[in-house]
């Protein structure tokens, strides 16, 4: 019965590890939740500007502008140096550059959120590792206690065997 109580004591002293950490977050959804309608439109336009479709449409519009102004016989709304086209392209470039900079700012916000999440994950991993290490240390201590108790039991059995006159080979 004493051994059973000792084993119960060992079982009670074992480390119980609980996983308490915040849930994993979806950073894209979190960043999108903070966007206003104008920022959503800017992001959509920024995605459009960076596409081959946009480049093809832009090239087609410029070719049509040039062709219509060069081939027009009576009314040239933008004669040869094409100053109006230059003005329109300059204005358009400034608008697209601003939209792209806003998209880059939102991307940097997502990067900051990702870095924060990576940090939180690393802290959580470190805590988990510490808990695992302490659990392993507790298991080592328990194993040593079991080994000492087995050794004591073995010595006690040998002592009893000697008292009773039982041969050492039969005990082992």
Give the pLDDT confidence score for residue 15 in this predicted structure. Answer: 53
Domain residues of the chain, as ranges?
25-130
pLDDT of residue 91: 92
Q: What is the DSSP letter of 165?
A: T
Q: How far apart are the first and last CA of the chain?
A: 23
| pLDDT for the residue 69 | 82
> What CA–CA distance (Å, rounded) separates 131 from 137?
10
With a cut of 90, say whether residue 1 has pLDDT above it: no
| Average pLDDT of every residue of the chain | 81
What DSSP string describes 20-86?
--PPP--HHHHHHHT--HHHHHHHHHHHHHTSHHHHHHHHHHHHHHHHHHHH-SS--SS-TT-HHHH
Q: pLDDT tens-digit profile of 53-95?
A: 988 999 999 888 888 888 876 777 787 788 888 999 999 899 8
């Amino acid at each position: 019965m004493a051994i059973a109580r000792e084993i119960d004591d060992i079982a009670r002293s074992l480390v119980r590890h609980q996983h308490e950490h915040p849930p994993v977050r979806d950073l894209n959804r979190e960043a999108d939740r903070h966007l206003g309608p104008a920022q959503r439109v800017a992001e959509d336009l920024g995605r459009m500007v960076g596409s081959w479709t946009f480049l093809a449409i832009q090239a087609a519009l410029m070719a049509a502008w040039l062709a219509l102004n060069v081939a027009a016989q009576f009314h040239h709304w933008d004669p040869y140096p094409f100053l109006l086209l230059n003005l329109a392209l300059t204005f358009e470039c400034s608008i697209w550059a601003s939209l792209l900079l806003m998209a880059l700012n939102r991307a940097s916000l997502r990067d900051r959120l990702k870095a924060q999440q990576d940090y939180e994950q690393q802290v959580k991993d470190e805590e988990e590792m510490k808990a695992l290490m302490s659990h392993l240390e507790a298991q080592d201590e328990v194993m040593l206690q079991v080994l000492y108790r087995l050794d004591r039991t073995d010595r006690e059995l040998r002592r009893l065997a000697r008292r009773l006159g039982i041969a050492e080979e039969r005990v082992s």
